[in-house]
Amino acid sequence: MVQPGDDLGEIIRAALSAANVTLVDGDIVCLAQKIVSKAEGQLVALADVTPSEEAVELAEKTLKDPRMVELILRESSEVMRHKPGVLIMRHKLGLVGAHAGIDQSNVDHSEGEQALLLPKDPDASAQRLREDLAANNSVQVGVVITDSQNRPWRMGTTGVAIGCAGFTVLEDYRGGNDVYGRELKVTLINRADAIAGAATLVMGETTEKIPLAIVRGAERSHHQSTDRRRSLSLMSKILAITGGVGGAKLALGLSKVLSPEELVFAVNTGDDFEHLGLHISPDIDSLTYALAEENNTELGWGRAGETWQFIETLGQLGGEDWFRLGDKDLALHMQRTQLLRSGSTLTEATAQITRAFGIMHTIAPMTDDHVRTIVHSDQGALAFQHYFVREQCRPAVSGFEFAGIESAHLNPIITETLKDCRGVIICPSNPYVSVDPLLSLPGMRDALQNIPVIAVSPIVGGMAIKGPAAKMMQELNVPASAPAVAGHYGYLLDGFVMDLTDADQSGEIAVHTRVTETIMNSLQRRIELARFCVEFLHAL
Strands (DSSP E) contained in 276-433 are 278-280, 362-365, 372-377, 380-383, 397-403, 421-426
Same domain, 30 and 179: yes
Return the pLDDT at 455: 97
With a cut of 50, say whether residue 193 has pLDDT above it. yes
Highest-pLDDT range among 127-141, 237-251, 296-310: 237-251
229 has pLDDT over 50: no
Same domain, yes or no: 413 and 483: yes
From the centroid of its chain, how far is CA 153? 30
Confidence tier at 535 by pLDDT (50, 70, 90): confident
* For residues 199-213, average pLDDT: 84
pLDDT of amino acid 404: 96
User: Is 77 in the same domain as 142?
Assistant: no
How far apart are alpha carbons 71 and 249 in whole angstroms? 32
Question: Which pLDDT does position 221 carry in this prediction?
Answer: 44
Residue 225 has a pLDDT of: 38
DSSP track, 394-438: -SPEEEEEEETGGG----HHHHHHHHTEEEEEE-S--IIIIIHHH
Residue 59, domain CATH: 3.90.1660.10
pLDDT at 230: 43
Q: How far, in Å, CA of 254 to CA of 260, rounded?
A: 10
Mean pLDDT for the stretch of residues 460-488: 94
**103 & 214 share domain:** no
Q: Give the model's confidence band at 96: pLDDT under 50 very low, under 70 low, under 90 confident, else very high.
A: confident
522 shares a domain with 437 = yes
**Residue 216 pLDDT > 80:** yes
- Between 305 and 370, residue with greater pLDDT: 370
Does a structural domain hold residue 424?
A: yes
Local confidence band at 228 (pLDDT 50, 70, 90 cut-offs) = very low
Other CB atoms closer than 10 Å to residue 531's CB: what's the count? 15
Domain end marker among 232, 252, 285: 232
pLDDT in tens, 432-454: 999 999 999 999 999 998 899 99
> Where does the pLDDT of residue 222 fall: very low under 50, low under 70, confident under 90, or very high at 90 and above?
very low
pLDDT at 440: 97
In a domain, 128, yes or no: yes
The H or E element that residue 263 is part of is: strand 263-267
Q: What is the pLDDT of residues 397-416, one digit of tens each?
A: 999 999 999 999 999 999 99
DSSP letter at 183 equals B
Residue 187 in any domain: the answer is yes
Could you tell me if 154 and 116 are in contact, meaning their C-beta atoms sit under 8 angstroms apart? no
In a domain, 332, yes or no: no
In a domain, 319, yes or no: no
Q: Is residue 307 part of a domain?
A: no
Residue 161 belongs to what domain range?
23-41+118-232
For residues 237 and 415, the answer to whether their CB atoms sit within 8 Å is no
What local confidence, expressed as pLDDT, does residue 210 receive? Answer: 86
- 518 plus 397 within the same structural domain: yes
Q: Is the pTM of this model over 0.85?
A: no
On whether both 421 and 531 belong to a single domain, the answer is: yes
Of the listed ranges 183-187, 458-462, 465-469, 480-484, the one predicted with least confidence: 183-187
Question: For the domain that residue 148 is a member of, what is the CATH number?
Answer: 3.30.1330.100
The total domain count for the chain is 3
For residue 123, give the 3-state DSSP assignment: helix
Same domain, 77 and 200: no
Nearest in space to 421 (alpha carbons), one of 447, 439, 440, 444: 447
**Mean pLDDT value of segment 343-362:** 92
Residue that terminates a domain, selected from 232, 263, 288:
232
Contacts of 392 (CB under 8 A, 6+ apart): none
* Residues 217 and 246 both lie in one domain: no
Query: Is residue 435 located within the same domain as residue 474?
Result: yes
**pLDDT-derived band at 223, boundaries 50, 70, 90:** very low
d(CA 335, CA 285): 12
Among 117, 152, 169, give the residue marking a domain's end: 117
CATH of the domain at 476: 3.40.50.10680
Contact of 375 with 400, CB cutoff 8 Å? yes
Mean pLDDT of 20-48: 93
DSSP-assigned beta bridge partners for residue 114: 45
Is the predicted pLDDT of residue 113 greater than 60, yes or no?
A: yes
Instruction: Quote the pLDDT of residue 219.
Output: 60
Cross-strand bridge partners of residue 455:
426, 496
* In a shared domain, residues 395 and 514: yes
Residue 13 falls inside a structural domain: no
In percent, the amount of the chain with pLDDT more than 90 equals 61
Mean pLDDT on 489-502: 95
pLDDT bucket at 220, cuts 50 / 70 / 90: very low
Q: Would residue 283 count as lying in a domain?
A: no
Mean pLDDT value across the chain: 89
Give yes or no for residue 347 having a pLDDT over 70: yes
Mark residue 393 as left, alpha or beta (left: phi above 0; alpha: psi -120 to 50; beta: remaining): left
Query: Residue 475 class from Cβ within 10 Å (0-12 exposed, 13-18 middle, 19+ buried)?
Result: middle
Do 113 and 258 reside in the same domain of the chain? no
How far is the first Cα of the chain from the last one, in angstroms, to the nearest whole number?
Answer: 51
